[in-house]
């Protein structure tokens, strides 16, 4: 009898593990990516046109842009969940947020740290965009284990581009002063704007009509 | 209460491979053949055989479509499949409850 109980308990545990592994976050990502990309491009254009070239203005604007993008993503996901008559805060959503949270927090802390470091040398703020790219890449890569496979690839794109940007910055800074901070908006706009838009457009074209929950 | 819930376990679902397929499909609206194959580390032939067995029992529905001009086979649990799976879980829980109360 004891063996039977153990067997049944093990069987239930196996079922639970398999069910958890299967529960992948499947909200339609195309609108989410397109929204995040649009915010990225608009933020970069605003930063460039309004000459946000001081560390304070640069940091504040991009933190606000990130928060705005995050709020929009939450609203889009919530609307999708509502339409599909499913809970918004599902176990896969919980896992995705947990996977991304450490990198998001590290990104926020990085702004604060660089804010103090850049008091005497505003050029130091140039290091922030590549660091954000690396952290965001890690966040996407981690979340990619609970999402469709393409997300991990996007994570790698951010991670490798961020690392490449760090190397280029290091080489540049050794050979002379870095360009004015206002050009960092280009870097941000390209990666957090255009790359999201490109991925969103790819998803939209390839997964059209497949709004699985 | 039946004294032998173990004997009542659905033999179709009870097989290890088929139980794994049913478990994965129970947690997801649908899964592609490739996703199931990769997640369960099964061969194409093995997975096809199990899915066919579940399909014959009316537990799994298979849909064929195209994505990016490539054929896409997706599987999902039918209402009968969900019911049979729920009953299977209930019986497992019953086995545990009965043996613990003795």
**Strand ranges, E, within B1-102:** 31-32, 60-67, 70-77
* pLDDT level of residue A204 (50, 70, 90 thresholds): confident
- Report the alpha-carbon distance of residue B13 to residue B21 in Å, rounded: 9
Predicted pLDDT of residue A42: 96
Which chain B residues have a beta carbon less than 8 Å from that of A19?
23-24, 26-27
Give the distance from residue B68's alpha carbon to the nearest chain A alpha carbon, in angstroms: 6
Q: Which of residues 3-22 of B touch A (CB under 8 A)?
A: 6, 19-20
- Residue contact A18–B99, C-beta within 8 A: no
Structure tokens at A127: 């290091």
CA distance B80 to chain A (A): 18
Comparing CB atoms, the residue among A8, A12, A23 nearest residue B28 is A23
Is B18:B54 a contact under the CB 8 Å cutoff? Answer: yes
Predicted ipTM? 0.77
Please state the domain extents for chain A: 29-206
Query: Of B27, B66, B30, B71, nearest to B51 (Cα)?
Result: B30
Within A50-121, residue ranges assigned H as helices are: 55-83, 91-117
How sure is the predictor about A212, in pLDDT bands with cuts at 50, 70 and 90? very low
Q: Where are the alpha helices (DSSP H) in chain A?
A: 2-22, 29-49, 55-83, 91-117, 128-143, 150-175, 184-188, 196-206
SS3 at position A110: helix
> Domain spans of chain B?
5-94
B5-94 in CATH: which number?
Answer: 1.10.10.10
pLDDT value at A109 more than 60: yes
pTM for this structure?
0.69
* Residue B69: pLDDT band with limits 50, 70, 90: confident
In B, which residues are within 8 Å of A2 by CB distance? 99
pLDDT at A149: 67
CB atoms within 10 A of CB A97: 15
* Structure tokens, A44: 């970069």
Where is pLDDT greater, at B17 or A21?
B17
Residues of B in contact with A86 (CB under 8 A): none
pLDDT digits (tens, 9 = 90+) for A163-191: 999 999 999 988 888 888 889 999 999 99
Share of chain A above pLDDT 90, in %: 48
Interval A69-106: pLDDT, tens: 999 999 998 888 888 777 788 777 888 898 899 999 99
């Amino acid at each position: 009898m004891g063996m039977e109980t153990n067997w049944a308990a093990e069987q239930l545990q196996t079922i639970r593990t398999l069910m958890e592994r299967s529960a992948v976050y499947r909200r339609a990502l195309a609108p989410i990516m397109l929204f995040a990309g649009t915010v990225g491009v608009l933020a970069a254009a605003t930063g460039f046109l309004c000459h946000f070239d001081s560390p304070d203005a640069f940091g504040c604007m991009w933190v606000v842009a990130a928060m705005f993008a995050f709020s929009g993503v939450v609203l889009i996901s919530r609307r999708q969940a509502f339409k599909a008559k499913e809970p918004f805060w599902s176990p896969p959503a919980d896992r995705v947020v947990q996977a991304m949270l450490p990198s998001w927090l590290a990104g926020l802390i990085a702004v604060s740290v660089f804010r103090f470091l850049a008091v005497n040398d505003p050029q130091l703020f140039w290091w922030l965009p590549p660091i954000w790219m690396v952290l965001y890449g890690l966040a996407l890569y981690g979340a990619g284990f609970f999402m469709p496979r393409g997300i991990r690839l996007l994570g790698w794109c951010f991670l490798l581009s961020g690392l490449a940007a760090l190397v280029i910055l290091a080489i540049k800074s050794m050979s002379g002063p870095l360009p004015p901070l206002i050009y960092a908006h280009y870097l941000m706009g390209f990666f957090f704007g255009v790359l999201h838009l490109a991925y969103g457009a790819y998803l939209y074209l390839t997964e059209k009509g497949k709004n699985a929950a | 209460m039946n004294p032998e819930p173990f004997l009542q376990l659905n033999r179709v679902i009870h097989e290890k491979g088929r139980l794994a397929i049913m478990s994965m499909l129970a947690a997801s609206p649908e899964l592609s053949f490739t996703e199931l194959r990769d997640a369960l580390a099964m061969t194409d032939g093995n997975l096809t055989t199990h899915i066919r067995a579940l399909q014959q029992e009316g537990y799994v529905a298979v849909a064929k479509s195209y994505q990016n001009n490539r054929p896409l086979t997706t599987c999902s649990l039918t209402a009968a499949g969900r019911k049979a799976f729920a009953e299977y879980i209930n019986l497992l829980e019953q086995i545990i409850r009965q043996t613990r109360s003795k």
